[in-house]
Amino acid sequence: MGRYTVYAKIQRVGAKKRVKPSDIEKLYKEQAQEYSHFADSSFSWLYLEKPVLDKVLAPFTNKHPKILDAGCGSGRVLRYLLSRNINSNDIVGVDICEDMLAIARKNAPNVTTVRSDLVTISLKSHFDLILCTHVLHYLDSNDYKRALRNLYKLLNPDGTLLLVLTHPVRTTRHNLENYFLRDWIVDHTPWGTNSPLFLRPISDMVNEVIRTGFTVKSLEEPSVPAGAEKSDPHNYAKYSCCPSRIAVIAIK
């Protein structure tokens, strides 16, 4: 499979062992510092993900929305929301890893943070906007369904959900015959570590959102703007050669 291989640590002879949320928690406990040092200035954040967030947040300007960052990590999106003049009292960040949350609290003071995975999450609050970026590819098919159902419950009527995931073409570009693989693979992360990632085709990603009850408003494959080549030619070539992210914007 080239750069991406079946995740050996979760394989048993004649059977597959699923990656659990607790396994992801352990991995990010080990990677918290590396990830946080990489996150805020990463090329993909600046030129692919942040522009999508700008678009999704625009309709909420001056409306004081209640926002959940589902899988907030080290607080990159939380800090972004504060920079967009969202009141800290209107933001909640949830993450499975306490080490990540400790960094998030420094990056986004006064924002409420909760330690939980998205498969079992239960909050008293409901939200107008839920942002879930680079999280659901850490869940297998069953947990993906459960997480989407939970996010649906947490969203107010007419509320908006944004999912940002790694594009499966990005993951399989060297071996496109694996595009329809539904299995755990090893992702060699840009911050220099290895992490499990559950590979699924776009149809699986989107159809489960629809089956959960959401109305998909748009499906986007953000592209790198031409001007980014001057700032970082290496990453421009890396991220412009094929779609790297997929963004699903859905309404309850």
Distances (CA, A) of 201 to 47, 135, 146, 171: 23, 16, 18, 10
Give CA–CA dist 89/99, Å, rounded: 22
Mean pLDDT of 53-58: 96
In a domain, 224, yes or no: yes
Q: What are the backbone angles phi and psi of residue 93, rounded to the nearest 5°?
A: -115, 135
In a domain, 14, yes or no: yes
Sign of CA dihedral 16, 94, 203, 186: negative
Q: Please choose, from the candidates 159, 155, 146, 164, the residue with its C-alpha nearest in 3D space to the C-alpha of residue 211.
A: 146
Tens-place pLDDT, residues 184-217: 888 777 777 777 889 999 999 999 999 999 999 9
In a domain, 1, yes or no: no
Query: Partners of 11 in the beta sheet?
Result: 16
| The residue type at 19 | V
Task: Report how many domains make up the chain.
Answer: 1
Give the domain range for residue 25: 8-251
Q: Decide: helix, strand or coil at residue 163.
A: strand
199: domain CATH number is: 3.40.50.150
In a domain, 194, yes or no: yes
Q: For the chain, what is the mean pLDDT?
A: 88
What is the DSSP annotation of 30-84?
A: HHHHHHHHHHTT-HHIIIIIHHHHHHHHGGGTTS---EEEET-TTTHHHHHHHHT
Tens-place pLDDT, residues 10-27: 232 224 557 777 777 777
pLDDT interval class at 5 (50, 70, 90)? very low
Give the global pTM. 0.89
In a domain, 213, yes or no: yes
User: Strands 183-188 and 194-199, how do they pair?
Assistant: antiparallel
Give CA–CA dist 62/58, Å, rounded: 9
Are 161 and 155 in contact by the 8 Å Cβ rule? The answer is: yes
pLDDT interval class at 246 (50, 70, 90)? very high
Would the pLDDT of 33 be above 80? no
In a domain, 3, yes or no: no
- The encoded tokens of residue 1 equal 């499979």
Dihedral over alpha carbons 26, 114, 147, 21 (to 10 degrees): 10
Are 208 and 23 in contact by the 8 Å Cβ rule? The answer is: no
In a domain, 122, yes or no: yes
Q: Decide: helix, strand or coil at residue 137.
A: helix
In a domain, 216, yes or no: yes
Which of 59-63, 159-163, 192-196 has the highest average model confidence (pLDDT)? 159-163
What pLDDT shows up at residue 16? 53
Distances (CA, A) of 75 to 61, 104, 141, 221: 21, 4, 26, 24
Reduced to 3 DSSP states, what percent helix, strand and coil does the chain have, rounded to the nearest 5? 45, 25, 30
